[in-house]
Amino acid sequence: MAHYVPNIMPVESVIARFQFIVPKEWKSKYRPVCIHLAGTGDHHYWRRRTLMARPMIKEARMASLLLENPYYGCRKPKDQLRSSLKNVSDLFVMGGALVLESAALLHWLEREGYGPLGMTGISMGGHMASLAVSNWPKPMPLIPCLSWSTASGVFTTGVLSKSVNWRELERQYYTETVYEEEIIHMLEYCGTDSFKMGQEFVKRFPSSADKLVSRSLNLDMTNQVVSQQPAECQTSSKTSISATSEGLLLQDASKLDCLNQTLATNKSNYTSYRPQSYQVLSQEQRRNNLQKESLIFMKGVMDECTHVANFSVPVDPSLIIVVQAKEDAYIPRTGVRSLQEIWPGCEIRYLEGGHISAYLFKQGIFRQAIYDAFERFLHKYAN
């Protein structure tokens, strides 16, 4: 990554590090290797080595390559607190670096005579593996576990939305005009799901989330002062956002051109110093407008950089087995394009429970999905 974009990564993250765990004996003429990418908070290698790599050697004589994420473990910047990335953009840099590093490792494994090769990961690791395989020019088994088509919902409507420093993001969005004037015009949203996250998800939000520290949003836009817009634009760009301890709720979608008009109008409202505007548009309402715009902008940027529909479809989607938890509050799926729609022919397996329980107790199901995907590859492409 540092070769293509110098100085974009902290010095601690530049050098990629990995562990390669191989069996003493292979059970056939093939030497299968699965690359495991780390999920959120998975520093170093011991979790993947203990829960996945060692059992895979015992059960299937399959090797595992464990790649350390940038910003994690030995690659964590000195001024970073645990797994909390300092900037939203660090997540995108991490993804780009993992795509390039995975490609380099796959080429190396091929040269060394290993194969078939595949990729997997749990949670964020599964999403990063999906992006990496989307950039690989050959058929490859892909097993993303507890991940979905975009990461935007994780940070805007999922449980982890409570961990985002929204106040700082709102301040940056308001003070740095480049976000509205330049970046917003570069975004191309992936279908109608961009502003529909969480309509049904909030109804099933776990009561345990009430224990989290939440920011209070009350976005009642009924008294907002807005300039005249075309009727069709006003109709399509109405967005209602409410947030309580039960989570964030985004309703309706807006076209990008109408969104730009709305953002420009709102910006002028709370930067205007006309007494008449102040009488109708209170300080609290201007604050709520800013929160709303920042959230929409955050979701748009997340969709642009992480939505798998923005990447190439893997060469053979039939080699993809997605494992999902039915009651996953970390990865909202409601209102989001299905992976079966984006990757026609892939298989999706659902298991009982939520994100954490699946991560802790369903590792055997994840490993079986890996074995099945590799068997499928051998059946179709073995010489």
Could you tell me which of 298, 248, 275, 293 has the C-alpha nearest to residue 88?
A: 298
Q: Could you tell me if 121 and 220 lie in one domain?
A: no
Could you tell me which of 30, 199, 45 has the C-alpha nearest to residue 116?
A: 30
Q: Could you tell me if 337 and 302 lie in one domain?
A: no
Q: Could you tell me if 285 and 360 lie in one domain?
A: no
pLDDT score for 356: 86
Select from 306, 340, 359 the last residue of a domain: 306
Please give the tally of structural domains in the chain: 2
Task: Return mean pLDDT, the chain.
Answer: 76
The predicted model scores a pTM of 0.70
**Span 48-54, mean pLDDT?**
96
Domain coverage including residue 250: 165-306
Q: What is the pLDDT of residues 84-94, one digit of tens each?
A: 877 777 888 99
Q: For residues 34 and 119, is the Cβ–Cβ distance under 8 A? A: yes
CATH number of residue 51's parent domain: 3.40.50.1820
Q: Could you tell me if 185 and 294 lie in one domain?
A: yes
Q: Could you tell me if 211 and 170 lie in one domain?
A: yes
**Span 258-271, mean pLDDT?**
46
Residue 338 domain-assigned? yes
Say how far apart CA 137 and CA 160 lie, in whole Å: 33
pLDDT score for 272: 44
Choose between 252 and 337: higher pLDDT: 337
The beta-strand segments (E) located in 68-145 are 117-122, 142-145
Q: What is the pLDDT of residues 175-202, one digit of tens each?
A: 776 666 666 665 554 444 433 333 333 3
pLDDT score for 236: 36
- In three-state secondary structure terms, 241 is strand
The beta-strand segments (E) located in the chain are 18-21, 33-37, 63-67, 117-122, 142-145, 217-218, 240-244, 247-251, 321-325, 347-351
Q: Could you tell me if 191 and 282 lie in one domain?
A: yes
pLDDT score for 66: 98
Work out whether the CA dihedral 352, 356, 361, 363 comes out positive or negative.
positive
Q: Range with the lowest mean pLDDT among 209-218, 281-290, 337-346, 359-368?
A: 209-218
